Amino acid sequence: MTSARHMHTEFKGAEMWNPNTPLSEDCLYLNVWSPRFNKTQPQNMALAPVLVWIYGGGFSAGTSSLDIYDGRILSKSEGAVVVSMNYRLGPLGFLSLPNNKNVRGNAGLLDQRLALQWVANNIASFGGDPTKVTLFGESAGSASVGFHLLSPDSHSLFQRAVMQSGSPNAPWASVSQTEAWQRSTKLAKLLGCPTSDPAYLEVCLQKAQPEKITAKQYDVLMQPSVLGLPFVPVVDGDFLREKVEVLLSTGKLPKKDLLLGLNKDEGTYFLLYGVPGFSLTQSLITRNEFLHGVNLTMTNENYVTREAAIFQYTDWTDENSKMGNRDSLGTLVGDGLFVCPLLEFAHRYSQHGGKTLLYLFDHRSSINPWPEWMGVMHGYEIEFVFGMPLNVSLGYTKNEVNMTKKFMKHWANFARTGSPDIDGAKWPVFTPEQQEYVTLNYNHPEVRAMMKAKECHLWNKLIPKMEKVSG
């Protein structure tokens, strides 16, 4: 999700996210896996549903060629066409220059749309049905799927959507035009480009070496934070016509089926990279380290708002418990950055958009190399969606092999029919009133309701009110 995936390179858990092919701005390629080219499939078979993957990486890292995104098992198991694309990242994908029609921002999202147009025009030649295209993505890739749901010019290019652990209304997923311009201007100065003449600024940046542009991107951030992403989507008046909150509340959302969900411990991954006191150890932190972590998470909120969050995420009977402080900070980060924004998106979309289905993934992989306390981490459902446990050499358990088969079927059935139901298990539709969802693990899906109701009332209702009053 962040550039953090480029650290700890000697550690297996981080290594899997590092690029395994050369990097270049010349990156607009896509991958297609098709059951049509499987010898056992009849050549005159009906067109297959299409699943189009958008990877995460905080809009600053990632590539479709990672082993974990290999589509061959999913395609073969489910008779689906699987597509994955690359898109430009960091400043190369999301630079936005003041008063410049050529560099408005969101180039990376337009790259994604271009890939979708290619799919619409060509996928039938690969045995895919262009009228049954489902977008699916994780983290920033999931937020990207959400941006396509919010951008009318993308609507004709897909029919259904899956959002895994990320949403466009998350605090890290977009910036205002003013903020984007400030960051781009700062980057230009760091690269030695004069900023007074807009036309010359563009020319100067075009001449700069991509490696230098990429290397300097994090220097534009004003302050350290748990999840500092310098170049992300921007409200440009074109791809993104209004602020995400406005688009979600106006009721002009497409009537497309949406499957979305979260992992049990979304926040823990980011503590390791963004908060002092955390490492590949037990990471038992002091009360002061907890409070520092809150400040690093809530960088834009005022003092009173932070106090409200501290109140909610403290066990006041044992406020100095090092384990308690560690676990509470993980929950706070996960709720604030991922869980509550996604649940708010589900809430709005179920009101104004199409059929909405929600899940919570709560199985920790038996081969997860990260410390046990990190739990069911951000990004660790992906291996089950893509069928990795079917690779016997990786050493997953028998339960996990069965579980990944179920997951692939849920996702493929959703792409095929709009319903992820399998084996007679009914997956309830999410409504603002009932707020039902299912748990995904190696047991039968279990129906629950009101995920994180109290915590998300704090993040989605109370904190915005407090910011207004005490701003």
Mapped onto helix, strand or coil, the DSSP state of residue 163 is strand
Mapped onto helix, strand or coil, the DSSP state of residue 160 is strand
Active-site residue, selected from the candidate residues 148, 347, 363, 378: 378
Yes or no: say if 49 and 132 are a contact pair by the CB < 8 Å rule: yes
Q: Does residue 139 carry a catalytic annotation?
A: yes
DSSP 8-state symbol, 295: H
Return the closest-CA partner of residue 425 out of 416, 435, 413, 415.
413
Residues with Cβ < 8 Å from 233, sequence gap 6 or more?
59, 94, 105, 106, 108, 109, 143, 147, 168, 173, 174, 175, 239, 240
The rounded distance, in Å, linking the Cα atoms of 310 and 331 is 12
Return phi, psi of residue 215, to 5°.
-65, -35
Yes or no: say if 187 and 220 are a contact pair by the CB < 8 Å rule: yes
Residues with Cβ < 8 Å from 417, sequence gap 6 or more?
none
DSSP 8-state symbol, 166: -
The rounded distance, in Å, linking the Cα atoms of 191 and 194 is 9
Active-site residue, selected from the candidate residues 34, 64, 75, 139: 139
Q: Does residue 65 carry a catalytic annotation?
A: no
What element of type H or E holds 257? strand 257-263
Q: Which residue type occupies 210?
A: P
The rounded distance, in Å, linking the Cα atoms of 355 and 206 is 44
Active-site residue, selected from the candidate residues 266, 289, 381, 383: 266
Q: Report the catalytic residues.
A: 139, 266, 378
